[in-house]
Chain A
Amino acid sequence: MWKRYLIWISGFVRGNFGESFEYKREVDELIWDRIAFTLIISVGSLIFTYVVAIPLGIYSATHQYKWSDHFLTFLSFVGMSIPAFLLALSLMVFAFDLFGVPLFGLFSAYYEGAPWTWGKLGDLFKHLWIPVIVVGINGTASLMRIMRGNLLDVLGQPFVQTARAKGLKEIVVVGKHAVRIAINPLISILGMSLPGILSGSAIVSIVLGLPTVGPILLRSLLNEDIYLAGTLIMMLSLLLVIGNLLADIALAWVDPRIRYE
C-alpha cells in the first residue's frame, strides 16, 4: 500500500498523475478544466463575499442596536447556519418554480460542448451567479459579523473622537478614518476563509451538477478510483497553499506595519 503511494507521489511531483481506472484515461486530461471552473467559482464567491459583507458590516456597525442592525444580525446567523447544499437545493427548486428552467450545470444545452465564443461566455455568466452566491453566503455572513465588530472597536477609539471633535462629517469620520483600519484584519482572514470556500464549492457543485472538482471527486471516491481522487485532493490542497501565500503577500502589501524578515 505505502509502496504504491510512494511510487504515485514521486510520479505526481514530476507531473505524472497516473491513470484513472474508471475513465481509462490519464488523470491530467480529466482535471484541468474542472480545476479552472473551481477557481472561477471560488474567486467569484470570494469577491462576492467581500463586496457584500463589508458594506453590510459597516451599515450594521453604524446603526448599532437599531432594528436594521438586529435584522442583519439575525440574517447573518441564519446565513452562517444554513448548509450550502441546502441553500443550493432550495434555490434550484425556487428557480424551477419561478422560471421553469432547470438550473443545472454551467451551460445551457445549446452551448454544452460547443467551442468557446462570446455567446458561450455570456451563457456561462448567466449560470455562474447562483453557485457563486450560494458558495459565498456562509462566508459573507461571518465576515459581516467580523467587520461589524472591528468597526465598533475602532469607532470607540480616541482618534475617532478627535476626528468628530474637529467637526468632520460623520461620513468622513467613518469612511476615511475608521473603515480603513477596521478593514485590515479582514485581509488576514482571507487566507482562513479559503478552505471554507473550496469545501463549499465542492459540495454545491455536486448538488448543482457543475463541472468542477466536487462531483468528479465524489464519483472517484465512491468508485475507489484512487489515483484520480488522490490527485484531486492534492490539487485542492495545493490551491489552498497558493491562496494562503497570496493572502499573506496581499496583507504585507496593504499593511506597511507587517514585515517578513
Chain B
Amino acid sequence: MNNTQNNPDQAIEIAQEIETAGDFHIDGGQLSYRQLIWRRFRKNRMGVIAGALLLLFYVLAIGADFFAPYHYNEINMRLRHVPPQRLHFSVSDGFYVHGLKSVRNPESLELEFTKDMEQRHPVEFFFKDADGRRHLFSSTGPMFLLGTDRMGRDLLSRIMYGARVSMTLGLVGVLLSIVLGSILGTVSGYWGGWVDNLIQRIIEILSAFPDIPLWMALGAALPPGWSSIQIYFGITIILSIIRWGGLARQVRGKVLAYRESDFVMAARAAGAGHWHIITKHLLPGCYSHIIVIATLAIPGMILGETALSFLGLGIRPPMTSWGVLLEEAQRVTVLLHYPWLIFPAVPVLVVVIAFNFLGDALRDAADPYSD
C-alpha cells in the first residue's frame, strides 16, 4: 500500500476509504484496548441495534411492575381467552380500545368475545390501580392488547413479567458457567499434566451428552416441594453445569498461549506467585474472549429454560416465564382456537437472535488488531 501513496489519485481514494471506514490504525497507538473494541463494535450496525434492543428488553423486564398494564397473576375468570384488542386513536379520546361483548357459541358452549363498538375504554397513562400502584398505561375497562389466557390473565403483562425470569436466568446461568469455566480452564492450562488431562476428559464427557434429555432428567429430579426461587436457581445450576465446558476450553487455550509469553516469564522471574500471575497477567488477556463466549452462550440458556418449562419440567407456576407461557400453547387444538397464545414465542426469537448478533459483533470487535 505504501508505494501506491505516491500516486495522488490513489492516495486520495485511500484517504477517503479510511475516512468512511472510520479507521483507527492511524491513531491506534493512543487508544486503550477497551476503546479500540468499542470503536470497532460501534461500526457494526446489526450489533449495535441488537445491543440496544436487548437493553430495552431488560429495562422492560426489570420495570415490569411499572411498564405492564396489569399484574401477571391478575385472574379474571369472566374474561377467559379474550382475543387481542386493537388499539384505536381518536382526537377526542386519545388512545382507546373498544369494549367487549361476550356471546356463547352454540356449538362449543364457550364464551366468545366480540368488539362492542358502542363502548370505548380510553387508555390512561400513569394509571393508578386499585392498590395504588402506578402503571405506564392501563385502562379502567378491560384492555388486553395481546389477549388473555385460560384464566383471563393479560398476556402482554405476563410476557413482560416472564421476561424477568427467562432473561435473567440466562445471565445468572452464564455467570455461573463463567466462574466454573474460567477457574477450571485456568487451572487446566496453567498447571497442565494430569490435572489438565482429567479436566479435559470431563469436558469431553459433558459435551457428548444430549443436553435436553439430560436437562429433563435433572429438572425432574428437583424436589416438588421447592419454592419458586429455589426452582429458579435449581434450573440455572442445571443449565450451567453442562455449558461451562466450552468456556473452559477457550480459556485453557488462551492460558496455554500466554503461559510461555515473555511478560509471564518476566513476572515469574521477578518472583510473582501463581495467584498473582493468574489474576494479573493471564485472566485479563482472556476477558474479551470470556465476554464473547458468554454472550453467545446466553441464547442457549434461554432456549434451554424455554424448552424445559415448555415440557413442564422447568419453572413452575405461579412463577411465570416464556416457557411457562408457551406450555399453554402446546396443543394444536388450543392454538387453532386461540392463536394469540403462541405470541410469547416472538420475544424468545427476538432476544435469541439479538444475542447471536451481539455476540457475533463482539467477537469481531474483540480482536481489534486483526485485518
Please report A residues at the B interface, Cβ cutoff 8 Å.
77-78, 80-83, 85-86, 89-90, 92-93, 96-97, 102, 104, 192, 194-196, 198-200, 202-203, 206-207, 213-214, 217-218, 221-222, 224, 229, 232-233, 236-237, 240-241, 244
Contacts and interface: CB of A to CB of B under 8 A. Distances in A.
14 contacts: A78-B349, A81-B352, A89-B329, A93-B342, A96-B336, A104-B332, A195-B209, A199-B213, A202-B210, A202-B212, A207-B330, A218-B313, A224-B220, A233-B214
Contacts of A83: 303, 306-307, 348, 352
B147 interface: no
Contacts of B336: 93, 96-97
Per CB-CB distance, the 4 closest pairs between chain A and chain B, nearest first, are A199-B212, A221-B220, A198-B210, A81-B352
B283 interface: no
B327 to A, nearest CB: 10
Contacts of A198: 210, 213
Contacts of B5: none
Contacts of A80: 356
Sorting the interface of chain B by its residue count into under 10, 10 to 19, 20 to 34 or 35 or more gives 35 or more
B342 A89 contact: yes
Contacts of B306: 83
A102 B311 contact: no
Most buried by B among A86, A207, A224, A229: A86
A206 B311 CA distance: 8
Contact of B307 (A93, A203, A224, A237): A203
A195 B304 CA distance: 14
Given A93-B335, A96-B336, A203-B307, A195 B207 contact: yes
A217 B353 contact: no
Nearest to A220: B220
A179 to B, nearest CB: 25
A34 to B, nearest CB: 13
Interface string B176-211: 000000000000000000000000000000011111
B217 A195 contact: no
Contacts of B217: 221, 229, 233
A93 B332 contact: yes
A202 B332 contact: no
A77 B357 contact: yes
Contacts of A195: 207-211
B286 interface: no
Contacts of B310: 85
A203 B212 contact: yes
A86 B211 contact: no
Contact of A222 (B211, B312, B348, B357): B312
